[in-house]
Amino acid sequence: MTCPEWLTAQPIAHRGLHDAERGVIENTSSAVAAAVQAGYAIEVDLQRSADGEAMVFHDEALDRLTEAGGLVRDRTAAELKRLAFKATADRMMTLGELLDLVGGRTPLVLELKSVFDGDIAIAMRTAALLRGRAGPIAAMSFDPRLVATIGWRTPEVLRGLGARRPRKSPRVAAEGAGAAQRRSPALVLQAMRARPHFIACRQQDLATAPALIARHLLRLPFLAWTVRSEQERRKALRHADQVIFEGFRPQVQPR
């Protein structure tokens, strides 16, 4: 599959066009609606609920953004949809509700979150919901197993692989088994088998030798994350094809 132009045509709003100071929380229907109105593409995150639903939410834990505690994966979709976000009337969406809300009006980039434990349920549910769905939609993950699953279940869906340099700080040891699995030879092999159509790279890593070599060899579009100023955007676009941004409003091209 050739990567379509819509993937890089417009800046991509990270977790929607959110602004907590104005009561617009990340990954909510308000943030998504604001991005659509402003003419941006949208990136959102997906977590698995206890009953296997794909929920639009970034963190593994609930406490940063909601009035509840515990893990997303320990509650059912119905329970998660009843939880109140802090300082907003929004409630957590399912992927199906997100797709209906956007309705193909702007490109969607769905990041499937993973704890690198081999669980592919989030990819299976995402693939089921995307099968036969019209509109510009891409699915990506830092876990190549999930990317490969999307390719296996819905080969027609554009898929991407997240990439970042491994942390060298002592905190790596505190990240547990997930961190080790991210760097395992088996995962590298799985990344090759995933055959992504694009790469999403941390903007600070774009000019490093591994990223430059990968871009030259793979000849795939690169998305740069997370870009937080116009200066960072200009710098990122020296090596990337488009940016995933937050905290400012980059100019968009007329459609």
Residues 6+ apart with CB under 8 A from 64: none
φ, ψ for residue 146, nearest 5 deg: -70, -40
Helices and strands, number each (H, E), in the chain: 11, 9
Using alpha carbons only, give the angle 147, 149, 151 rounded to the nearest 5 degrees. Answer: 75
Alpha helices in 154-208 (DSSP H): 171-174, 177-182, 185-194
Of 203, 243, 204, 197, the residue nearest 221 (C-alpha): 197
- Tokens in use for 154? 């819905």
Please tell me the distance from the alpha carbon of residue 82 to that of residue 65, in angstroms, as a whole number: 14
Is pTM beyond 0.85 here? yes
Q: Which CATH class is domain 10-245?
A: alpha beta
Of 153, 131, 132, 149, the residue nearest 140 (C-alpha): 149
- How many Cβ atoms from other residues are within 10 Å of residue 181's Cβ? 17
Please tell me the distance from the alpha carbon of residue 120 to that of residue 122, in angstroms, as a whole number: 6
Contact present, 90 and 81 (Cβ < 8 Å): no
Please tell me the distance from the alpha carbon of residue 132 to that of residue 112, in angstroms, as a whole number: 19
Q: What is the pLDDT along the chain (255 residues), one digit of tens a residue?
A: 778 999 999 999 999 999 999 999 999 999 999 999 999 999 999 999 999 999 999 999 999 999 999 999 999 999 999 998 998 999 999 999 999 999 999 999 999 999 999 999 999 999 999 998 988 999 999 999 999 999 999 999 999 999 887 765 444 434 444 554 555 556 566 677 789 999 999 999 999 998 898 888 889 999 999 999 999 999 999 999 999 999 999 999 776
- How many Cβ atoms from other residues are within 10 Å of residue 70's Cβ? 12
Please tell me the distance from the alpha carbon of residue 148 to that of residue 133, in angstroms, as a whole number: 19
- Tokens in use for 228? 């937080």
The ranges assigned to domains in the chain are 10-245
Contact present, 184 and 145 (Cβ < 8 Å): no
